[in-house]
């Protein structure tokens, strides 16, 4: 991936932001905090320097970051009577992996859709590097450096793997009307696009499949294809919607390594994930949504201590102290409660319901951990 830092150099239109008020910065952060870091700056960050970025960040919803690449204000979206998203303020730190978690129906996918131009909010503003993206459609957003992948991979099964990746190169010269009148320009562009697609296929070890139909790939390989396609425009920030869903354990590890490698190259990553082990493994910072709102932000290792997070996942009506082991796994009565939540979810799915609401009502905790005695009528109240 080229490293020319071209996305991030402050200029008159995009001045470097100053350090947010109230953010305590130590020496480790000083080199990049308060200015807009380039891809090159971010590439040379050591792991302690990267975690140092969050040292002075308050673990509260909407907290200021030293060098935010994305800033969101008052973005809301309703469907009928349901307020799917109401994000008052959110800043995403440049050059870090931010995990976005929350129960089913929390509004994560809708939020991704809104800020990448795939859906329109009812209210709100948001910016990338200080430039408002409010009226842009997805390919305009991509041209400015932000791309997304989808929860359900969108690979076109009757096209080759190579062509699917090439499709990611939207908004480049070959698409323009004028270039169509100048085929020599277009052909050069086409060759560059093909070369880059091959390079990305090699990176994701899909090069042997370049000429196969995308429909022949496994679920995990399609996720890799989706990432390769997203990287065609050499983005500054990638939004990954459940990149691990449906991927077998062997490929999960490889995907995780790919995501970390992107971050280590200076790409900002925001990803939606349900698996807490994955979240703890690769996130530098975690943002928690529930019922459309940002309810918590924290370092991944402190998630289990956050009452709002536990409430969001286990329902707000428990009246016992929750306990987790040092791996963040629930223990004792908390484990029993967690199993009941699982059982309630399973039951909902078996009955053909969806999981658009978190489980909010649970029976008394007993020793019968495997009990499926959740009254479905009470769930989602």
Ligand X SMILES: Nc1ncnc2c1ncn2[C@@H]1O[C@H](COP(=O)(O)OP(=O)(O)OP(=O)(O)O)[C@@H](O)[C@H]1O
From the CB of 31, what's the least distance to ligand X, in Å? Answer: 36
Residues 350-369 that bind ligand X (CB under 6 A): 355-356
Pairing, β 123-128 against β 68-79: antiparallel
From the CB of 107, what's the least distance to ligand X, in Å? Answer: 4
What are the backbone dihedrals phi and psi of residue 193, each rounded to the nearest 5 degrees, phi first? Answer: -65, -45
**Number of C-beta neighbours around residue 361 at 10 A:** 15
Complex with ligand X: residue 59 or 355, whichever CB lies closer? 355
Among 8, 110, 221, 268, binds ligand X (CB under 6 A): 110
Complex with ligand X: residue 14 or 83, whichever CB lies closer? 83
What tokens appear for 255 in the block?
Answer: 């995907």
Asked if 86 is part of the footprint of ligand X (rule: CB under 6 A), the reply reads no
Among 52, 107, 121, 300, binds ligand X (CB under 6 A): 107
Among 33, 106, 231, 267, binds ligand X (CB under 6 A): 106
DSSP H or E run through 238 = strand 237-241
Complex with ligand X: residue 37 or 87, whichever CB lies closer? 87
Asked if 82 is part of the footprint of ligand X (rule: CB under 6 A), the reply reads yes
Q: Which stretch binds ligand X (CB under 6 A): 78-86, 193-201, 263-271, 363-371?
A: 78-86
Asked if 108 is part of the footprint of ligand X (rule: CB under 6 A), the reply reads yes
From the CB of 219, what's the least distance to ligand X, in Å? Answer: 16
37 to 18, 40, 58, 68, 105: CA distances (angstroms): 12, 8, 21, 10, 34
Identify whether the C-beta of residue 74 lies closer than 8 Å to the C-beta of residue 120.
no
Whole-number Å distance between alpha carbons of 324 and 305? 9
83 to 121, 290, 354: CA distances (angstroms): 11, 11, 17
Asked if 109 is part of the footprint of ligand X (rule: CB under 6 A), the reply reads yes
Sign of the Cα pseudo-torsion (123, 129, 130, 131, in order): negative
From the CB of 374, what's the least distance to ligand X, in Å? Answer: 19
Identify whether the C-beta of residue 225 lies closer than 8 Å to the C-beta of residue 200.
no
**Number of C-beta neighbours around residue 242 at 10 A:** 19
Complex with ligand X: residue 20 or 102, whichever CB lies closer? 102
Asked if 304 is part of the footprint of ligand X (rule: CB under 6 A), the reply reads no
Judged by CB under 6 A, how many residues of this single chain contact ligand X?
Answer: 13
Interacting residues with ligand X (CB under 6 A): 79, 82, 84, 102, 104-110, 355-356
């Amino acid at each position: 991936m080229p490293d020319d830092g071209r996305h991030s150099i402050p200029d008159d239109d995009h001045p470097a932001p100053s350090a947010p008020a109230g953010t305590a910065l130590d020496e480790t952060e000083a080199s990049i905090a308060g200015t807009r870091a380039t891809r090159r700056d971010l590439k040379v960050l050591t792991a302690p320097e990267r975690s140092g970025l969050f040292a002075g960040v308050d673990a509260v919803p909407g907290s200021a970051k030293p060098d935010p690449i994305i800033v969101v204000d008052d973005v809301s979206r309703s469907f009928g009577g349901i307020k799917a998203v109401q994000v008052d303020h959110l800043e995403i730190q440049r050059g870090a992996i931010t995990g976005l978690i929350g129960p089913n129906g929390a509004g994560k996918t809708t939020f991704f859709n809104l800020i990448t131009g795939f859906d329109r909010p009812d209210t709100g503003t948001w910016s990338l590097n200080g430039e408002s993206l409010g009226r842009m459609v997805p390919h305009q957003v991509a041209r400015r450096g932000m791309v997304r992948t989808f929860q359900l991979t969108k690979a076109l099964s009757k096209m080759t793997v190579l062509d699917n990746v090439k499709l990611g190169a939207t908004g480049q010269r070959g698409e323009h009307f004028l270039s169509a009148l100048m085929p020599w320009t277009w052909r050069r562009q086409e060759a560059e696009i093909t070369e880059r697609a091959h390079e990305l296929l090699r990176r994701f070890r899909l090069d042997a499949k370049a000429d196969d139909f995308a429909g022949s790939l496994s679920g995990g390989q399609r996720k890799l294809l989706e990432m390769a396609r997203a990287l065609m425009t050499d983005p500054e920030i990638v939004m990954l919607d459940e990149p691990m869903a449906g991927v077998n354990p062997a490929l999960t590890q490889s995907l995780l390594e790919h995501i970390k490698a992107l971050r280590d190259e200076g790409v900002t990553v925001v990803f939606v994930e349900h698996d807490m082990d994955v979240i703890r493994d690769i996130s530098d910072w975690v943002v928690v949504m529930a019922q459309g709102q940002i309810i918590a932000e924290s370092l991944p290792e402190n998630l289990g201590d956050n009452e709002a997070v536990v409430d969001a996942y286990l329902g707000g009506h428990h009246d016992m102290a929750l306990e987790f082991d040092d791996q963040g796994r629930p223990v004792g009565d908390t484990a029993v409660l967690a199993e009941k939540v699982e059982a309630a979810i399973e039951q909902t799915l078996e009955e053909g319901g969806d999981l658009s609401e978190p489980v909010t009502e649970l029976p008394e905790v007993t020793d019968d951990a495997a009990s499926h005695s959740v009254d479905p009528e009470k769930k989602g109240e």
